[in-house]
């Protein structure tokens, strides 16, 4: 992967995305832990900068489209955490692995369509470096009834 023309922050501007302040942890944990060249990002959900969250259960009271929006918003929040931790998003070498949780009815089977909101934005911002391995899992509930939660592993340059 060439570093020529690699500028995730310029891509954010092109996409008209302004990063919020990284959301604070809501319990006894930190937003991310770096060990060596890997950052393990704690789970984040679909919270707007004003604190409002996208809540609900897929297959019950929110649509796949609203879930996709929530997953995209979650990606923005995770990028905000990376920006806070690294100072410069050019230090992101690769989005390696994503664990995506979808708050859904037991019969709901479209978790991948919902979580493409996260994955599509990571690729839009980081290009080939944003293509990642992923698991998209349906769960019975999530904290504060948020629609989705995502944690990920990111490789960074020294």
- Tell me the pLDDT tens digit for each residue of 66-110: 999 999 999 999 999 999 999 999 999 999 999 999 999 999 999
- Tell me the pLDDT tens digit for each residue of 5-22: 899 999 999 999 999 999
What ranges do the domains of the chain cover? 8-17+31-156
Structure tokens at 135: 């698991």
Domain 8-17+31-156 is classified in which CATH homologous superfamily? Answer: RutC-like (3.30.1330.40)
Q: What are phi and psi of 115, to 5 degrees?
A: -75, -10
Mean pLDDT of 100-122: 98
pTM reported for the whole predicted model: 0.96
Mean pLDDT of 110-127: 98
The pLDDT value given to residue 138:
98
The pLDDT value given to residue 4:
74
Which residue matches tokens 């897929």? Answer: 58
Contact 37, 96 (CB under 8 A): no
- Tell me the pLDDT tens digit for each residue of 29-53: 999 999 999 999 999 999 999 999 9
Q: From CA 20, how far away is CA 108, in angstroms rounded? A: 31
């Amino acid at each position: 992967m060439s570093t020529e023309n690699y500028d995730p922050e310029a891509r954010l501007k092109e996409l008209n995305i302004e990063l919020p302040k990284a959301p604070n942890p809501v319990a006894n944990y930190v937003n991310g832990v770096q060990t060596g060249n890997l950052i393990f990002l704690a789970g984040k959900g679909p919270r707007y900068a004003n604190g409002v969250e996208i809540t609900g259960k897929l297959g019950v009271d929110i649509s796949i489209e609203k879930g996709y929006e929530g997953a995209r918003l979650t990606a923005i929040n995770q990028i905000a955490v990376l920006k806070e931790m690294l100072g410069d998003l050019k230090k992101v070498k690769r989005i390696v692995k994503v664990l995506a949780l979808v708050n859904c009815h037991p019969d709901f089977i479209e978790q991948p369509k919902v979580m493409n909101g996260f994955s599509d934005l990571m690729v839009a911002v980081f290009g080939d470096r944003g293509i990642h391995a992923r698991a998209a899992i349906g769960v019975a509930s999530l904290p504060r009834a948020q629609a989705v939660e995502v944690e990920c592993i990111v490789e960074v340059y020294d």
